[in-house]
Amino acid sequence: MVAESSTPTGPVEIFYSYAHEDEALRQELENHLSLLKRQGVITDWHDRKILPGDEWKGQIDQHLTSARIVLLLVSQHFIASDYCYDREMIWALERQEGGATRVIPIILSPIEDGWRTAPFGTLQALPKDAKPITTWDRQDEAFADVVNGIRRAIHGQPIANESSPPPAEPAPDLPVLRQGATTWVLSLLKRVLGPRLGSAVFLLLFLLGAAWWNWETLKTRPGIQWVVARLTQPAVQPVVASKFLVAVALLEDDPNNGQRELVLNALNGFTGIEVTDQVTRLIAPTGLTESAKEQMGHEQARVYLRTLNAQVLIWGKVLTQGSQKAPQLYLTTSEAKQRAREVTQLDNFKLPALFWHDLVDILRLAVLAQGNEFIDKQGTFLADQLAPFIEKVRTLLAEASQQHGWEQDTRAQVNVILGNALLTLGEQSGKNEPLTEAVVAYRAALQEYTRERVPLQWAMTQTNLGNALRTLVQRPDEIC
């Protein structure tokens, strides 16, 4: 939670994270916040304020970073939106963990009861009792409650409109003490805080005492092990890698990290990537259903990927049958793609061909996603950003013929992406060497993309090859 002073020094920027299907409700909320804007208490921003010609991702990232309050306008549309849920929400929650912003869920319309298990489910939601706005008899009252909660958040107060506890009364006299310490504490709390709140505080103290007394046993229970690991392990640090970075987290039910070490050793033999073991944490909590654990695990894994600047994170658990152990591995990418496979049997301490096929496919998606980002930025100077990307792809391809999992179409697609990046670098830098290498990359792709088998890919690659050769020919010192 952001620590706000009771008198903000300037307008507080508010960011609306919402699905476009809910635009009418977002506009209504914006109308109800008009008084706070006129009073200079807030400014607000949403994607409809992006001007024609502006780079929309950059604008969203800029305001998501500068906002001191992020409103998650929660509905089924919001949850179904990959961009709202996987990018805006996760980024906002990361910033809240670092104290840079405050995230407030606004429940627009009814959603399934399981939303409390979502990443935002532990946050205090608005309006009162998290009752969806569209279910109120008078929606103006719901929006007014939301606005009041936002006003309290700006001044660092709890956003729920809770009543103040009754004034304290004198402590009980000596006869009460004779009832025993437990009875005396409960009686004191009830008299000071009131019957309901006093009983709740007493129950909380009792549970904390029981947890402390049985901590050695309790910390090994399902779910608790994950929480302990999250709280006690050091934070991960960004990694500057010259290759595509693959991280391996702790595996559930692998107490001596034996299976994890086997996975790390196998990955270190894949020379086109760099491997890190910095994520010394369990990714998903135990004690959940498999589907819930998988969803939460992929969400948490993507948080680590962004922090590490990695492309893939491998996590999972170890299954045991008799004396045999085998890891069930999940692969999560930084681009919100995910792949889960059946149990991976380590054969003579080597990972099977199916695993390598999945890993190569995941790396292909990472290359494709980064290549598309450069395409989206056409018209801007990219040479300084392209150089490290090209080096990573070049290194990945250099070992492709010696590695498991590479298929001809995969090599061809990655070669085309490398050629496109080299072509752009050559055009912008004025150097011929990248153009010459682009020609080599396109011709390598055409070895796989034949006219008879994939005519469309063949034609597009031939066009790119022609562009590279024409640019070389038009230069005074061309190298063909």
Query: Tell me, what's the pLDDT at 4?
Result: 42
18 and 135 belong to one structural domain? yes
Query: Tell me, what's the pLDDT at 175?
Result: 40
3-state DSSP assignment of residue 323: coil
Which CATH number does the domain housing residue 277 bear?
Answer: 3.40.50
Domain end position, chosen among 323, 351, 379: 351
Higher pLDDT, 53 or 112: 112
Q: Given a cut of 80, is residue 16 above it in pLDDT?
A: yes
46 and 142 belong to one structural domain? yes
Higher pLDDT, 445 or 325: 445
Mean pLDDT of 234-248: 73
Query: Tell me, what's the pLDDT at 14?
Result: 93
Cα distances (Å, whole numbers) of residue 245 to 275, 278, 313, 359:
6, 12, 9, 12
16 and 50 belong to one structural domain? yes
What's the CA gap between 442 and 423, in Å, rounded? 10
Q: Which helix (H) or strand (E) holds 470?
A: helix 455-473
pLDDT bucket at 5, cuts 50 / 70 / 90? very low
3-state DSSP assignment of residue 455: helix
Q: Which residues are within 8 A (CB) of 56 and not within 5 positions of it... i.e. 6 or more apart?
A: 47, 50
- 424 within a domain of the structure (yes/no): yes
Q: Given a cut of 90, is residue 107 above it in pLDDT?
A: yes
- 26 within a domain of the structure (yes/no): yes
Q: Given a cut of 70, is residue 216 above it in pLDDT?
A: no
Q: What is the DSSP letter of 89?
A: I
181 and 70 belong to one structural domain? no
* Region class of 430: left (phi > 0), else alpha (psi between -120 and 50), else beta: left
Choice among 99-108, 162-171, 204-213, 283-292 with the minimum mean pLDDT: 162-171
Higher pLDDT, 232 or 75: 75
150 and 16 belong to one structural domain? yes
What's the CA gap between 65 and 232, in Å, rounded? 28
pLDDT bucket at 167, cuts 50 / 70 / 90? very low
Query: Tell me, what's the pLDDT at 476?
Result: 67
Q: Which residues are within 8 A (CB) of 294 and not within 5 positions of it... i.e. 6 or more apart?
A: 284, 330, 340
Structure tokens at 296: 């939460």
Q: Given a cut of 60, is residue 160 above it in pLDDT?
A: no
Q: Which one of 106-115, 162-171, 217-226 scores highest in mean pLDDT?
A: 106-115
Domain end position, chosen among 351, 378, 408: 351
What's the CA gap between 189 and 196, in Å, rounded? 10
209 and 261 belong to one structural domain? no
146 and 188 belong to one structural domain? no
Q: Please, are residues 197 and 191 in contact by the beta-carbon 8 Å criterion?
A: no
Q: Please, are residues 101 and 70 in contact by the beta-carbon 8 Å criterion?
A: yes
pLDDT in tens, 33-84: 999 999 889 999 888 888 877 777 778 888 888 889 999 999 999 988 888 8
Domain end position, chosen among 317, 351, 385: 351
Q: Please, are residues 76 and 82 in contact by the beta-carbon 8 Å criterion?
A: no
Q: What is the DSSP letter of 21?
A: G
Q: Please, are residues 14 and 69 in contact by the beta-carbon 8 Å criterion?
A: yes
262 and 199 belong to one structural domain? no
> What total of structural domains would you count in the chain?
4
- 168 within a domain of the structure (yes/no): no
Q: Given a cut of 80, is residue 11 above it in pLDDT?
A: yes
197 and 260 belong to one structural domain? no
pLDDT in tens, 372-418: 666 666 666 666 777 888 888 887 777 666 666 677 788 888 888 88
Q: Can you give the residue range of the structural domain that contains 432?
A: 362-473
pLDDT bucket at 126, cuts 50 / 70 / 90? very high
What's the CA gap between 455 and 476, in Å, rounded? 34
Query: Tell me, what's the pLDDT at 408?
Result: 79
pLDDT in tens, 332-364: 876 654 554 444 555 544 555 656 666 776 676
Query: Tell me, what's the pLDDT at 146?
Result: 94
Structure tokens at 124: 């205090």
Query: Tell me, what's the pLDDT at 198?
Result: 66
Which percentage of the chain shows pLDDT scores above 70?
Answer: 68
191 and 310 belong to one structural domain? no
What's the CA gap between 226 and 154, in Å, rounded? 33
Which CATH number does the domain housing residue 129 bear?
Answer: 3.40.50.10140
Burial (CB count within 10 angstroms: exposed 0-12, middle 13-18, buried 19+), residue 164: exposed
- 219 within a domain of the structure (yes/no): no
Query: Tell me, what's the pLDDT at 180?
Result: 46
- 478 within a domain of the structure (yes/no): no
Supply the mean pLDDT for the chain. 76
Q: Residue 82 phi/psi, 5° resolution? A: -60, -40
- 163 within a domain of the structure (yes/no): no
pLDDT bucket at 232, cuts 50 / 70 / 90? very low
pLDDT in tens, 421-469: 888 888 888 888 989 998 998 998 898 888 888 888 889 989 989 988 9
429 and 339 belong to one structural domain? no
pLDDT bucket at 267, cuts 50 / 70 / 90? confident
Question: With the C-alpha atoms ordered 82, 85, 90, 95, is the resulting torsion angle positive or negative?
Answer: positive
Q: Which residues are within 8 A (CB) of 186 and not within 5 positions of it... i.e. 6 or more apart?
A: 198, 199, 202
Rounded to the nearest 10 degrees, what angle do helices 408-429 and 433-448 cross at? 160
315 and 251 belong to one structural domain? yes
Mean pLDDT of 146-155: 90
Asked, as a colleague might, if the bond just before 222 is cis with ω within 30 of 0, I would say no
Of 302, 339, 249, nearest to 119 by C-alpha is 302
- 125 within a domain of the structure (yes/no): yes
Instruction: Give the helix, strand, coil percentages of the chain, each rounded to 5.
Output: 55, 15, 35
What's the CA gap between 277 and 334, in Å, rounded? 17
Q: Given a cut of 60, is residue 2 above it in pLDDT?
A: no
Higher pLDDT, 267 or 405: 267
- 7 within a domain of the structure (yes/no): no
Mean pLDDT of 151-163: 69
Q: Which residue has tokens 């729920």?
A: 160
